[in-house]
A and B are shown apart, each in its own frame.
Chain A
Amino acid sequence: NAGVTQTPKFQVLKTGQSMTLQCAQDMNHNSMYWYRQDPGMGLRLIYYSASEGTTDKGEVPNGYNVSRLNKREFSLRLESAAPSQTSVYFCASTLGPSARETQYFGPGTRLLVL
């Protein structure tokens, strides 16, 4: 039982390049979330998916797209990376539809955009 896994762990991109961050959970959770963490800012919600087939914007969705591929997987795509997207990205999941439940986080993806 791996919980929430994220790939890659670390990535360097050039401005304008695209990439997809992968997230998978093996806990049969229904809801999944993408956050970014920046120094002095805490975690900010990018997108979430309350159930398979649905996605909704969070606090900072601009420049990102998401796909809830199936119940297990929730990917985050940067179509044209910008230096402002340099951050640590965390994926999380909850059993039910509420973020008030215990969220289980992955280990994070550290992204550097040059």
Chain B
Amino acid sequence: DQQVKQNSPSLSVQEGRISILNCDYTNSMFDYFLWYKKYPAEGPTFLISISSIKDKNEDGRFTVFLNKSAKHLSLHIVPSQPGDSAVYFCAASPIQGAQKLVFGQGTRLTINP
């Protein structure tokens, strides 16, 4: 069973607009969430994270929102740039077992000029 789900395999957004990537989780024991970005033929790179004690975290053009009651988080990128075209993975860490991350399937974001 997929504990962390990214239901949109792909997303296409026009340059300059807002990109919204979504992630849902099923396990109430997750209390820390991260987003990683991956370019082709490279390893993932860390983007932004959020603890369950917060509902929002912002870093430049990137903002992550957490809705604990809905078990849902989203990554907002504004404004979107061509270099943002990549696969985005959300990941969750449980209260017990902070050495382990559970990743979603990934969403491929394409920014069109």
Identify the A interface with B (CB < 8 A): 4, 31, 40-45, 48, 50, 56, 58-59, 90, 92, 97-100, 102-108
Contact = CB atoms under 8 A, between A and B. Distances in A.
Interface of B: 4, 6, 9, 32, 34, 36, 41-46, 49, 89, 91, 93, 98-106
Contacts of B45: 105
A30 to B, nearest CB: 11
A50 B103 contact: no
B91 to A, nearest CB: 8
Given A43-B101, A59-B102, 8 more contacts: A42-B4, A42-B89, A42-B106, A43-B103, A56-B99, A99-B98, A100-B101, A103-B44
A107 B46 contact: no
A90 B99 contact: no
A42 B105 contact: yes
Contacts of B4: 42
Given A40-B105, A42-B104, A42-B106, A102 B98 contact: no
A82 to B, nearest CB: 23
A100 B43 contact: no
Nearest to B103: A42
A90 B43 contact: yes
A104 B43 CA distance: 8
16 contacts: A31-B99, A40-B105, A43-B89, A90-B44, A92-B43, A98-B99, A99-B93, A99-B100, A102-B46, A103-B36, A103-B46, A103-B101, A104-B43, A105-B44, A106-B43, A107-B41
A45 B103 CA distance: 9
B107 to A, nearest CB: 11
A86 to B, nearest CB: 17
A41 B105 CA distance: 5
A7 to B, nearest CB: 14
B46 A45 contact: no
